[in-house]
């Protein structure tokens, strides 16, 4: 893969361990330089008081105005995200601008009243990040249920797929 870089932008309070984990894993998977930027305030402009959720596309719009020369930006929020057509989203990507965002809220077992599982949580966060970054490289959804680019309708889909791209997606990525 071509040498490129990624900046992770946390919005609001995000556990440092998660950001560090993503930084290390993403730099290996994509073989690029990954940096963690300073924390941005909670994006109140994206909050919908009726839904009590944050509109992910509005945050992407904010991200794409960042004047940087690097190629990719990943926003990380611990806030529930939505787009108008759906009840929620795990993340969203803007292909044209190379920016994407993931939410950590629904990746925790505790969200579903299940016992905490930190490793599973980290794994899910990584998968969502790789998936959204994959979109910024113009990869669409893949039919291979084991491929990271497979669409996650639920966490079951996320847990089934690996953190890797299938051979076909890998070719497209390169």
Nearer to Zn ion by C-beta: 108 or 131?
Answer: 131
Q: Please count the residues of this chain forming the interface with Zn ion, following the rule CB under 5 A.
A: 6
* Phi, psi (deg, nearest 5) at residue 82: -145, 160
CB of 165 to Zn ion, least distance (A): 6
Nearest one of 88, 94, 73 to 8, comparing CA atoms: 73
> In the range 132-161, which residues lie near Zn ion by CB under 5 A?
142, 144, 147, 149
Nearer to Zn ion by C-beta: 42 or 141?
Answer: 141
Does 166 interact with Zn ion (rule: CB under 5 A)?
Answer: yes
Strand partners, 54: 47, 81
Nearer to Zn ion by C-beta: 40 or 172?
Answer: 172
CB of 151 to Zn ion, least distance (A): 6
Does 77 interact with Zn ion (rule: CB under 5 A)?
Answer: no
Does 29 interact with Zn ion (rule: CB under 5 A)?
Answer: no
Site string for Zn ion, 88-127 (x = CB under 5 A): ----------------------------------------
User: Angle at Cα 74 formed by Cα 31 and Cα 129, nearest 5°?
Assistant: 70
User: Angle at Cα 26 formed by Cα 25 and Cα 27, nearest 5°?
Assistant: 95
Q: Which residues belong to the active site?
A: 132
Instruction: Taking the CA atoms of 41, 42, 44 and 45 in sequence, report the sign of the dihedral they define.
Output: positive
How many CB atoms are located within 10 Å of the residue 85 CB?
Answer: 6
- Pairing type for strands 53-55 and 47-48 reads antiparallel
Contact set with Zn ion (CB under 5 A): 142, 144, 147, 149, 166, 169
């Amino acid at each position: 893969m071509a040498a490129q870089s990624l900046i992770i932008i946390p919005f609001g309070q995000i556990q440092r361990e998660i950001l560090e984990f993503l930084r290390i894993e993403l730099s290996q998977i994509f073989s690029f330089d990954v940096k963690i930027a300073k924390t941005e305030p909670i994006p109140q402009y994206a909050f919908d008081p009726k839904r009590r959720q944050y509109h992910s596309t509005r945050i992407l719009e904010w991200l794409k105005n960042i004047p940087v020369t690097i190629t990719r930006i990943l926003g990380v929020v611990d806030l529930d995200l939505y787009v108008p057509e759906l009840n929620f989203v795990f993340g969203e990507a803007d292909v044209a601008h190379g920016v994407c965002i993931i939410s950590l809220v629904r990746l925790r077992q505790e969200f579903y009243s299940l016992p905490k599982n930190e490793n599973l949580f980290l794994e899910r966060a990584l998968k969502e990040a790789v998936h959204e970054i994959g979109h910024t490289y113009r990869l669409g959804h893949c039919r291979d249920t084991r491929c990271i680019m497979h669409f996650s309708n639920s966490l079951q889909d996320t847990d089934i797929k690996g953190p890797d791209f299938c051979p076909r997606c890998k070719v497209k990525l390169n």
